[in-house]
Every structure is written in structure tokens, then in C-alpha cells.
Structure 1
Amino acid sequence: MPSTYSAVSYGQSLSPADLAQIRAALTNHGCTIASERRETHPGFAAAIFELGWLAMNGGDANRLVLLRQALSEVGPLEASTAVVPDSLLRAPRKFIIMDVDSTLIQQEVIELLASHAGTEAEVAKVTEAAMRGELDFAQSLHHRVATLAGLPESVLAEVGAKIKLSIGAERLIAQAKAAGHVVAAVSGGFAQILAPLAQQLGLDYALANELEIRDGRLTGKVAGTVVDRAAKAEHLRKWSAEAGIAAEATVAIGDGANDLDMMEAAALGVAFNAKPAVRAAADAQINLPNLDVALVLAGIVAT
């Protein structure tokens, strides 16, 4: 059966001129617009174009890539248009998995911890390089965690109290859960921070690295296997299967190179205020400070 798609445009504002450009880009690439509707959300507006174009038939695999490229060049800088498979939009249950640091939350936890050790500048530099994909993630994590050796366990609670959720994060999770969908978080950060946050938000699944602690102090080591990009993709597949949700109904959201594998494994990979290499590889971009744009991308309507 042929695949169908919808184009979802979103931004702080969408003018009639912006929408006209989007329609032109769609029709210039052979799409017909079966229907169109507008939505208004806290902090952003959206327009959904249901396409009559049947994609991915025969040798037409490049058409989707070319259409996405054309749409990326349309409209104001703060607006984006994603081409979303209807298999996701129309799925009765969906699975959303997201990164934590700089995605679910606004900060990088390891940098907050490093500020207590006096190594924040060094750690921030390594983190940036790792998120750009310039360093092996596991190796960079061990290097950064080593700088935390000797810190008292109490700093974890202090850092946890400073966590700020990304704008729209609570709305995304609450509305997705209320509509019967499954929400997960997977992090190259630390379980000691994610676990209470996951409980507070009501996440269905959560996974992060475990900081080793002995005699009330951080040892500067990670206990067990590092949660890297491969592990993130693996748990997307594992958890969605456990929830009985097909791969065609999955969404992965992240900002760094460590998220690329799970974004590729998902039906829709979403770059959230991401590094350039991640934006280039993503199916969709959210370049606004509103994480709950993902509700529109996934076709989730609040109950």
C-alpha cells in the first residue's frame, strides 16, 4: 500500500504570505493538498496540510528528501515545515522518546556537577565537541566524569533542585499520556537525576548512566555500560515493542550526535534546537524553545 504524508508547518507566527509559499513549494514538487487546517498553541502557531501525493513508489525515494529540502528554504527563520508520514499521524497509540540534557531539560547536568568541582569550563568544552560528533561519546563521558571524583553525594540533590524543564515539556508529556500514548526518556546523563524527574513527570520508561558512589562520594566513574547512541536506538525498539507500538508510530527527539541513531530508528526523528549536523540528519526540526511542538508533529490531540 502506498505511503501518504502530511506537511506540518509551525512557528511563532505563520502569515498568509508564508502559507502561500509553503503551498507553492508543495505543488511545485508534485503534491496535491487534500485539506488544510490552522491551529493555535501556547507560544506557536501551526498549519497542517494533508497531501494527496503518494510517495515512496518505485524510484521516487528521493522525492521526499527533495521536498523536505525545498520546504526548509521556505518561510521566516522562526518557522519550519516537516513532512510527516500519515502512519504516525493516524496511529491510535504512539511512542515518544526524548533525550534529556538540553532537550527534556534546559541544562547539561554534567556541567552543573562540574561547577562544584571547578572543572565546568573543561567539561563544557568536551561536551560541546561530543554533541557535535567530534569525539567518541563513551570516551568523552568517562573523561568528564573523572573530573567529578571526590564530590560529595549531596551535590546530586543540589543539582537536581536546579533543573529547569524545557518550555512545553510538561504539556507534551501530560497531553501525550492523557491521550493514551507512551513517553520515554533516555539519557547519556545520570540516573540519579533522571529517576526522580521521571517519577515526577510520569514517564513510562527512563534510562541513564549510573554514577558510581562509594563512602558518600563520587568515584569519578560510571557503573555499568555507558548509555551511548546505540543504546538509545536499542531502547527505542525494545520499549516500543514492549508497549505494542509499531516502529511506524514512533518519534525520537534529541539535540546532539548521541541521539542520531534513535532518530534514524524512529518513524520521525526530530532535532530540538540542535547542533547543525543533527538538524541536517533529522526528519523535522524544532527551532523554537517549545518542546510541545512535538504534539503537532505527532498528530496528538489533547483529550
Structure 2
Amino acid sequence: MTSLVLTLVAQREATVLTPSTIALARDIVSGMGEATVLSAGEAVDIPCPATAWDRLPDLREALGTQQVDPILTSVEGRRKMLLVSDMDSTIVANETLDDMARLAGLGDKVAAITARSMNGELDFASSLNERVALLRGLPATLLEQAWADVTLNTGAVALVRTMKAHGARTALVSGGFTYFTARVGALCGFDEHHANTLHLSDDSATLTGTVEQPVLGPDTKLRLLNTLADSLKLPVSAALAIGDGANDLPMLGAAGLGLAFHAKPVVRHSIASQINHSSLRAALFAQGYPASAFVEG
């Protein structure tokens, strides 16, 4: 009995999804029926039984170095009505705090702490406070300079606007700073944004090296996911969460579809649904949206 859908998504700038790759995947997961094309050469759906979960590691191994992501979803409730997304290294290509530190000549020191935090080696709140403290007394213009370098990841706008066009609520939830989430949220069309507030001096000229407490970290992200679902009278199974770091793990594990996006090793080890090669377009394909239904910027 069909209960799952295997979505194959190719990194379209690097490769093409071939009939032989589709046939290989169908055989490994005991696919049923013909593949449905979501985007020619880029994405297909293959109906399959519940046992496909057990074969997913084998499929990833068989795909080898092919830049193709296999994502399994349940047939029931496949299109989600709530999106909760991380920002840094997810919606945007940047780590905005690291970018600020780099501009101040502190890049290596701060980036090393960020890497350990995102891989779950350090407590998130403590590591954020430690990193921000290093910026004390530096000019607040670092925020504007870092913003000038921010780049949206491919598919970010389409993900948000397509889900909104089909009735979903969208929230940007970041362990970063509201200075950036407000701007990124507006660019992509998010309904709301949540992040940490970076303190400035009384004349707003310099950074104080502190953030408003308590820090928005992994527990807050999970709480926001649950609160938003409750406010919409939705079960968390109707939510899509997406992120890359250890501070995203609680919300990724709780959501109906948690997607690890080009994630750190600790996240890939814990979250089965992964986008390792392709773009954020895969988050729409995984919900069954064909490319023809995407709402671009």
C-alpha cells in the first residue's frame, strides 16, 4: 500500500535527473507506479510503501556522488500550512554575526565559536553572549556593512511566497539578530520574524557587546513552532521546519516535516529528511508542488 512519496531533487546547476537514476531509486525503495515529473530534469515524485524509510540509507549510498537529494514524505498532510525557518546559512547564505566579526577583524575567532556552537559542541546562549561580547565598543555601522553582503539562498523567495499563496503562515525564527531578520523577512515575504535584539549605546553609535536576555535559542525556536501551530489551530504535523544548526534540532524533530538544509554533521545524524545538494526549491518539491506552481519574487 502506498503511504509515502519519495521525491528526488537534483542540483539543477550541476546535474540532470536521468531516467536511470529515477529507475535506480524506484527499485531500491520498491516504488509503485510511474514517477510524476515536478520539474523536468530536476525533480520527480515516486509513490512507495512505508518500508522505504528502511531503504533510505541504501538509496543515499547508491546515489553516491550524484548531486541528488532523496526526500521521503507521508502522502497524508503533505502540503504544510506553517513554515518556520532558520535564517543564517538557511534562508541566507551568510552567518551574519560572523560577517560582522570579519569586518571588524575578528573573523577567525568568532567563526570558530560559531562552528562549534552550530555543531552542538557549545551551549548556544553562552556562545552567542561570548561572541557578541567581542564586538563591544565597535561601530554600529558594522550592521549596515554586513547587511550589504547578505545573499538570499536560491529558492528562498519562492519557498515563502508559494506556501503563503496556498494559505500557509510563514515565520523566520533566528538565533541571529532582528536587524537582519526584519530585512530578510521583508525581502522574502515572511509574515513574521523573531530573533535576538542586539544592544546599542545610548547614541546608537556603538555596539555594547550585549544582547537582550533571555537569548532566543533552540528551546525558544521549538516553543515558537508550537505556539504558532496552536494559534493557527494546527497540529505540529502540519508544520515545515527548516534549518542547518544544532540550535534548530528541537524544532526540526518536532515538525511534521523537518528539513536539514546543508546541515552540520550533528544535524544530519539526527534528522532523516535532508537537503544536502539542491536548493530551497527542494522544500517545495518535497510538498508535491510542481515548479509551474512556484511563486517567484
Q: After TM superposition, is the score higher than 0.5?
A: yes
Contact 2:29/2:56, CA 8 A, preserved across alignment: no
Q: Structure 2 unaligned segments of length 5 or more: list them.
A: none
Work out the CA distance in 1 between the residues paired with 2:91 and 2:181. Answer: 10
Work out the CA distance in 2 between the residues paired with 1:184 and 1:298. Answer: 18
Work out the CA distance in 1 between the residues paired with 2:135 and 2:287. Answer: 39
Contact 2:244/2:261, CA 8 A, preserved across alignment: yes
Contact 1:184/1:203, CA 8 A, preserved across alignment: yes
Matched, 1:146 2:133: yes
Cα displacement string for residues 23-61 of structure 1 (whole angstroms, at most 9, x for unaligned residues): 11112xxxx5145211227xx61110123x3x4xxxxxx
Cα displacement string for residues 117-147 of structure 1 (whole angstroms, at most 9, x for unaligned residues): 3211100011111111111111111110001
Question: Structure 2: which amino acid aligns with 1:137?
Answer: F
Partner-residue secondary structure (3-state), 1:156: helix
Partner-residue secondary structure (3-state), 1:7: strand
Matched, 1:137 2:137: no
Could you tell me which of 229, 234, 242 is aligned with 1:245?
234
Segments of 4+ moved more than 3 angstroms: none
Could you tell me which of 45, 55, 61 is aligned with 1:67?
55
Could you tell me which of 20, 24, 27 is aligned with 1:17?
20
Using structure 1 for the length normalisation, give the TM-score. 0.87
Partner-residue secondary structure (3-state), 2:17: coil
Identity %: 33
Partner-residue secondary structure (3-state), 1:73: helix
Could you tell me which of 43, 46, 56 is aligned with 1:46?
43
Question: Structure 2: which amino acid aligns with 1:23?
Answer: R
Cα displacement string for residues 94-125 of structure 1 (whole angstroms, at most 9, x for unaligned residues): 21211100100001011111123321110001
Deviation of 1:274 (Å): 1.2
Work out the CA distance in 1 between the residues paired with 2:220 and 2:34. Answer: 39
1:226 matched residue in structure 2 = 215
Contact 1:263/1:269, CA 8 A, preserved across alignment: yes
2:273 matched residue in structure 1 = 284
Contact 2:6/2:47, CA 8 A, preserved across alignment: yes
Matched, 1:254 2:251: no
Contact 1:88/1:250, CA 8 A, preserved across alignment: no
Deviation of 1:298 (Å): 2.0
Q: Which has the higher strand share?
A: 1
Deviation of 1:76 (Å): 4.6
Contact 1:251/1:268, CA 8 A, preserved across alignment: yes
Work out the CA distance in 1 between the residues paired with 2:170 and 2:35. Answer: 28
Deviation of 1:289 (Å): 4.9
Contact 1:186/1:206, CA 8 A, preserved across alignment: yes
Work out the CA distance in 2 between the residues paired with 1:283 and 1:242. Answer: 28
Q: Structure 1 unaligned segments of length 5 or more: list them.
A: 56-62
Cα displacement string for residues 238-261 of structure 1 (whole angstroms, at most 9, x for unaligned residues): 112222332222111111111111
Deviation of 1:3 (Å): 9.0
